[in-house]
Structure 1
Amino acid sequence: MILNFRKEILAFISKPERVEDEETIDDCSDILVVSDTMAVAVHNEDANVALVGHTYLIKAKLSNGLSYTAYTYAGELPSCAFGFNNHGLILNVETASSQRLSVQEVGSTPFFHANMYLHLEVDQVHDQNSISRQNRAALLPKRSKQDLLSLLGDTGDHKYPIFMQGPNLYTLCTAVIDLDERTLAITEANPRKGEVSYVFTMA
């Protein structure tokens, strides 16, 4: 998972000149775990409600043998949402301008982030949406895969829920990448309901 460095850039733009306010910034949530019982990356793809129905799943194989699967938006290259390649690694990578990079290996302690830098020291916009989701996730159980799905389906914070249903931001889908089962499961409903929309086998 690579964190978009948009919030780093926004920190340098004065508020009156911003085209959009913090309520309309795309804000995704992730939780990653690699333990003796599970190796999963679970992701909420959150975006403006206008993008509902305008997304695609791309599977590609490059001439060098590398293959990847990525969720993407109409008219965009597959790089701004979740995806994986055939290396099968679970790492949290945070990138910023001037070739700054921080890689954190995921272990048995569940790692949650709400689309903000956590281990790369960068001046960034600390919007209340991300902070509230980060704080809420810290309170919820993370012992099983169902716990993780319930966490990403949480609506306990009515102003800044982890699972978003508008009016501006909307959880387009939840993806579960399971390295043990070698599957990508996508659900378009609240993930805590357990209703999987699509399942793909990882090559």
Structure 2
Amino acid sequence: MPAPSDIGRRNALPILYTRGNYYEVGFDVGRTFRGIIEDFLASFKELHDSYLPAYETTEGKAAYDATLKSLEENFPHYIRELQGTADGAKVPFHHLMLLHMDQIVPMNSGKARSAGTNGCSSIICNHEGQVLLGHTEDALPETLNHIYLVSAHIEEETPQGKYETKVEHFTALCYAGHLPGFCMGFNHHGLVFSVNVISPAKVLAGKTPRHFLCRSLLSAEHGEQGQKILRDVGVGSADGVSINMIFTKQEGLPIFQNAEVAPADGVDESPLSIMNICQGEHLVHTNKYLRLTGVAEDDGLCMASSNHRHARAGALCKPESIHKLLSVLSDTEDKEYPFFREGGMPDFVKTVTLGLFDITNKTWSFWMKNPQGCDPLFSIPIEFDCEKNHASLAFSKQKAKAD
């Protein structure tokens, strides 16, 4: 039988539906996907070659502790959620936390930024009858076949964290062992978004990791709150990230936003640039800043790949329809740095899935293989109204009390 690393690109994507408090939802995720999480942690070279060795140094452990302390003060509910995942999967908590801190521990222990992750591609298409957000989820090779969907309804009796969150209802794509929110997803308030990592030259300890900003974004009720979460006043971001988002319940014509976030270096809030993409417009965003100035970026594979992808997008037809958008995200003509990636050299990253949000028709479709040669694996409805779910939950509680 083939080893797990030799099973090829699987045409499968599991989904979990779960309800409970933050710890319970995290536990259900860990328990359900224990095998996938264990296999991913065992094979993930970045964890064993970079994160864990840096964690064992004095400087690295100090960076870890300072960052965890800040998270426990501001986002204790998400720490409990991650602890639940670790307990459910029966894996060490600090292994999962190191995944979420990413380059914070290595880069604050004297090591250079890893060349590992050079990010995803997102395309916004905002045309009449064609309101779309397409996204290639690109990750290190070990991540292939180690992803899943989580559809969660979370309720707490008391407000949680700096934004006093009590209820969340969302569906999100997750890397194995990671909190929801870091890839793409939607919530019941009408938020739809995708994430592009950006690689600043400096990453900060004691600040909020971009994974946790994205996790918190899943709770946003409207655009102003989304921007507030990304700005993170009082702490600020530890790293760079770009968010492509739309709140579908807003009045008037649909308007997308792209938010570029930089590390809060010497300040207590994230530098933030917001751009509106109105009807009749489109945007291609990869893994470099397009507007935010004054932020030094790592000049490695992430930048090289981003430059190639933007150049190739400029040579293709404008992504003004589903067909044209998919033709860009599935393009492989640039043999060094294609849009849809199969892990060649020098670009060893792989596209682990391609997602397409059709806002007009309220569907989210997934391709596990290049769309040039296959139909989507499946589509799920984007359900923004959870009043029925709240009513069902209230009925269940009343029935339980009566019994």
- Provide the TM-score with structure 1 as the length reference: 0.85
Give the CA RMSD over aligned residues: 2.2
Matching residue of 1:3:
none
Match status 1:128 vs 2:304: yes
- Could you tell me which runs of 5 or more consecutive residues in structure 2 were left unpaired when the two chains were aligned: 1-101, 156-165, 192-246, 248-255, 265-269, 384-403
- State the Cα distance separating 1:41 from its structure 2 match: 0.3
- State the Cα distance separating 1:26 from its structure 2 match: 3.5
Match status 1:146 vs 2:309: no
Higher helix share: 2
Q: Which moved more, 1:73-82 or 1:189-198?
A: 189-198
2:273 counterpart (90, 102, 110): 102
- State the Cα distance separating 1:29 from its structure 2 match: 0.3
Matching residue of 2:357:
177
Maintained 8 Å contact 1:146/1:192: no
The count of residues paired between Structure 1 and Structure 2 equals 191
SS where residue 164 of structure 1 aligns?
coil
Question: What is the distance in 1 between the residues matched to 2:343 and 2:263?
Answer: 31
Maintained 8 Å contact 1:29/1:114: yes
1:75 counterpart (169, 177, 181): 177
Higher strand share: 1
Match status 1:58 vs 2:150: yes
Cα deviation, 1:37-81, whole Å, max 9, x if unaligned, reads: 311100000001111111111112243554222111111111321
Question: What is the distance in 2 between the residues matched to 1:160 and 1:44?
Answer: 13
Question: What is the distance in 2 between the residues matched to 1:66 and 1:105?
Answer: 26
Cα deviation, 1:73-123, whole Å, max 9, x if unaligned, reads: 111111321122232423212112222112222222210011222122222
Task: Decide whether aligned partners of structure 1 residues 26 and 72 sit closer, same or farther in structure 2, where only a CA change above 3 A counts.
Answer: farther
2:335 counterpart (155, 158, 173): 158
2:378 counterpart (189, 198, 201): 198
**Greater C-alpha radius of gyration:** 2
Question: What is the distance in 2 between the residues matched to 1:41 and 1:194?
Answer: 19
Question: What is the distance in 2 between the residues matched to 1:91 and 1:165?
Answer: 30
- State the Cα distance separating 1:180 from its structure 2 match: 0.5
Maintained 8 Å contact 2:118/2:305: no
One-letter amino acid matched to 2:277: V
- State the Cα distance separating 1:172 from its structure 2 match: 0.5
Question: What is the distance in 2 between the residues matched to 1:85 and 1:119?
Answer: 27
Task: Decide whether aligned partners of structure 1 residues 67 and 105 sit closer, same or farther in structure 2, where only a CA change above 3 A counts.
Answer: farther
Matching residue of 1:17:
111
Q: Which moved more, 1:176-185 or 1:66-75?
A: 66-75
One-letter amino acid matched to 1:115: N
Maintained 8 Å contact 2:125/2:282: yes
- Provide the TM-score with structure 2 as the length reference: 0.44
- Could you tell me which runs of 5 or more consecutive residues in structure 1 were left unpaired when the two chains were aligned: 1-5
Maintained 8 Å contact 1:152/1:192: no
Higher-RCO chain (CA-CA 8 Å, sequence separation at least 6): 1
Maintained 8 Å contact 1:153/1:190: yes
Match status 1:137 vs 2:308: no
Q: Which moved more, 1:88-97 or 1:72-81?
A: 88-97
Question: What is the distance in 2 between the residues matched to 1:164 and 1:34?
Answer: 25
